[in-house]
Amino acid sequence: MKTTRMDGASPTATRRAWHALESAEALERLESSENGLASDEAARRLEEHGANRLAPPAGKSPLLRFLSHFHNMLIYLLLVAAVVTALLGHWVDTGVIMGVVFINSFIGFMQEGKAERALDAIRNLLSLKAMLLRDGRKAPVPAEEIVPGDIVLLQSGDKVPADLRLIKAKNLRIDESILTGESVAASKHTDCAPEPAALGDQRSMAFSGTLVTYGQATGVVTATGEHTEIGRISAMLSDVEPLATPLIQKMSAFGRVLAVVIIGVAAVTFSIGVFVHSFPAGSTFLAAVSLAVAAIPEGLPAIMTITLSIGVQRMAGRHAIIRHLPAVDTLGAVTTICSDKTGTLTRNEMTARSVHLPDQRFAAEGVGYAPRGQLHLDGEAVGSPAEHPALLALLETGLLCNDASLREDQGQWHIDGDPTEGALLVLAQKAGLDPEALSEAHPRLDSIPFESEHRYMATLNGDGAGGTRICVKGAPERILDMCTAQGWGEDECALDRAYWEQVLDGEAQLGQRLLAVAYRTSEPDRSTLDMAVVEGGLTLLGVVGIIDPPRDEAIRAIAECQSAGIRVKMITGDHAATARAIGQELSIGDGKHALTGRDLDKMGDDELRKAVEETDIFARVDPEHKLRLVRAVQANGHVVAMTGDGVNDAPALKSADVGVAMGRRGTEVSKEASDMVLTDDNFASIAHAVEEGRTVYDNLRKAILFVLPASGGEALTIIAAVLLGWEEMPITPVQILWVNMVCSITLGIALAFEPPEKDVMRRPPRHPKANLLSSHFLWRISFVSALLCAGTFGVFLWALDKGADIEVARTAAVNTLVFFEVFYLFGVRHIHSSVLNFEGIFGNRVVLAAALTIVVAQLLYTYVPLSHTLFGTASLNPAFWAVILAVAAVVFVVVEMEKVILARIRFAKIS
């Protein structure tokens, strides 16, 4: 071809050039004509450009995907423990550990692959067949065989099969919400647009995957397959790498540090035993192995997984479906929510808000399509529109010049037809007008449908008295040109254009879409309507302001997020004035400042990073703008949740730390690219999900604060035995595994059911880089580990001193360790505050059930003969139990005393 490769070789060229060319020049550059391509030329171009489809991504095999989930330091430690227990011949223990490893890996494997599914969903958006002109004749052709230069014929109901430069258009409207997010179908025409026009302003283009809702058109294909606008989004999805969540990052770092510490301590212990105490190398090695097994918190991955899963179930009950398990934790760390506007913060239901007459302004109550609410004038409710003849005339005219219909389905109101016309219909019904009765009284005789070329709709109706009336509605600037008068009845006077232009400017600043309504009487015998009759001599009745209103629950949810220290940003494809107006109602930004996609194009990455800290409203943005904005916010150190429902949101949803898709109105693409789906499309559910996410993180920290001292106490007990020169270990490896895999997991899981703490949504988000183990945690883990070691080793020595054999002493030591954990479980339910109250002791029934379960398990462990064989245990007399419980209860008392002391220290620092 002799073209400049404007067929899609460069995505930027595709977007920035074709809409700026005249249709004739586009045909020339594509070496095509209005008669279409010849079949042989189409075949040649198909070979050159490839099929009009999106290629599937190259993905890893299922086996490699599964094995990749073993690449985690904590998993490596568990595998080492499995090998060690296998070498010791403890095959049951080996099986238990490997079961934990495989369960964790299987869960991760099942959650993976969302990128591939997102791309599959995009591919399913493409049309299957299209009507083309080939060899000068109409012919249905498989969409995959379309090539640049083909002439495509479109009509209402068609899915656009490729990116097109329109060369003919009649009454064409296309739903582009999957790309732009705009709630109203875009009117299309053939006039070229400025080269830097945003996607939603490229009125001479039709984009692949969008839907023709009205009219007919002919267009020349400018891009196919991966070079289309939807193909660019697919490419962006392929390029976006999923982020590791804060919890995964911290647990990986924790696992690496823990591995080094365990290996180091085991090596030192082995060296002390061999070189200081001259123990046999074999028994000393087994002691070092016991230490390693004791120090590895085998139950922690299972506790983490179960805690996250319980969080998933809680969120599902609050209309938030989690698709990616670690996202539960990430929600608790969110510092910024970047939200799409249409259908997310707003209802996606156009609503008439104001009616301007020549000397009055009425305000309308209610939101959405439900015909409920009143009209107000100067703050007073309007009883009947008949009291205001000019208002009644405007409402009747807007109702007669209207093709929309309103229906109720299971309590939900829906509009069939254009949403803007639907807003006029609902407004009239709020005032008590009956559309059917009005149509019968004023039958339609003829009409001129809306077309983008003349920007108005007109109908000819009988006036009920033998005459006729022309009813007109349309773009205010166009209607003003057609009017010579304003008002109604006795108040009719010459048109005051300056007044109306001031009204239009004022309402536009409020972000409202404006619709002018006019009329004129006509000859009684007129039965047809033409433009020559309509375009002059009209009387302007007024202007209606229409807007897609914000959700009431979104307003409350945003306030709750802000009180929780979470910043909310609006990122929309709509116009800046509309975004500012909605933002002001939602308390996002200052209602004055907004940046557009054109502004963002002029910014470098550093400048953009600064801009996102100062601005909360971004309008008229394209998909790559959303992706840049999310990344810029992340670059400033924020954890970002991105909400959206369209294909245009998918790359940003996938790039965000938490992608949140709308379940009802959302496209399959946005759902597959997300981590969480809202089943009620309610922004307020995000606030609930954040609360649950913070609760899950709190419970995970409590579980870590519970498990690590138990492992630390076991390890210190082994170390103490070696340092004191004891060849006989107080606890054997198999007994350690019993404590870690049965008792610790059972008790730790109970913490997953902890309810939210009272201040969970009143405190700021945790810092993304905050350490998983704070200095306070390290202190608590250290002193509780030391306490467990002292108590366990002390009871072991006490038993030996009383003449007990080694099996009895070890059984007493194990029970001491386990009951230490039972008492400590109650103390750790509240990290900082005391649990010495009814809620602290009895507030979590699962904790009580877990404690009772462990009591029963330890009795079986101690007295059942099979346990004596498997674990080397022996029965204990009642005197042993009195000592065990008295020693174990010390941890509860000491931890509660520590909370009181630290609370007084914090209070002293504040005061």
Active site residues: 340
- Report the distance separating Cα 415 and Cα 538, nearest Å: 29
Instruction: Give me the residues paired with residue 376 across strands.
Output: 363, 381
Asked if residue 651 lies in contact with residue 642, where contact means CB atoms within 8 angstroms, the answer is no
Neighbours of 451 (CB within 10 A): 17
- Report the distance separating Cα 353 and Cα 335, nearest Å: 34
| DSSP character at residue 386 | G
Asked if residue 332 lies in contact with residue 693, where contact means CB atoms within 8 angstroms, the answer is yes
Helix (H, G, I), strand (E, B) or coil at 50: coil
Our CA dihedral for 576, 580, 583, 589, rounded to 10 degrees, sits at 110
Contacts for 75 with CB less than 8 Å, ≥ 6 apart: 69, 101, 104, 105, 301
Helix (H, G, I), strand (E, B) or coil at 901: helix
Determine the number of helices (DSSP H) and then strands (DSSP E) in the chain.
Answer: 35, 28
Contacts for 596 with CB less than 8 Å, ≥ 6 apart: 198, 576, 618, 619, 620, 621
Buried b (16+ CB within 10 A) or exposed e, 411-422: eebebeebbbbb
- Report the distance separating Cα 115 and Cα 650, nearest Å: 10
Our CA dihedral for 758, 763, 767, 772, rounded to 10 degrees, sits at -20
| DSSP character at residue 41 | H
Secondary structure (DSSP) of 244-307: PPHHHHHHHHHHHHHHHHHHHHHHHHHHIIIIIS---HHHHHHHHHHHHHHHS-TTHHHHHHHH
In terms of Cβ atoms closer than 10 Å to its own Cβ (0-12, 13-18, 19+), residue 585 is: middle
- Report the distance separating Cα 74 and Cα 97, nearest Å: 12
Give the H/E segment covering residue 461: strand 456-462
| Alpha-helical segments (H) within 349-460 | 389-400, 419-430, 435-441
- Report the distance separating Cα 751 and Cα 696, nearest Å: 10
| DSSP character at residue 223 | E
Asked if residue 177 lies in contact with residue 197, where contact means CB atoms within 8 angstroms, the answer is no
- Report the distance separating Cα 441 and Cα 444, nearest Å: 10
Neighbours of 664 (CB within 10 A): 13
Asked if residue 419 lies in contact with residue 409, where contact means CB atoms within 8 angstroms, the answer is no
- State how far the alpha carbon of 834 is from the alpha carbons of 36, 742, 760, 840, in Å: 80, 27, 17, 7
Secondary structure (DSSP) of 584-605: HHHT-TTSS--EEHHHHHT--H
Q: Please give the radius of gyration of the chain, using alpha carbons only, rounded to the nearest integer.
A: 36
- Report the distance separating Cα 806 and Cα 812, nearest Å: 10
Asked if residue 754 lies in contact with residue 844, where contact means CB atoms within 8 angstroms, the answer is yes
How many whole angstroms from its chain centre is CA 378?
A: 41
Largest CA distance in the chain: 122
Of 706, 696, 705, 783, nearest to 739 (Cα)?
Answer: 706
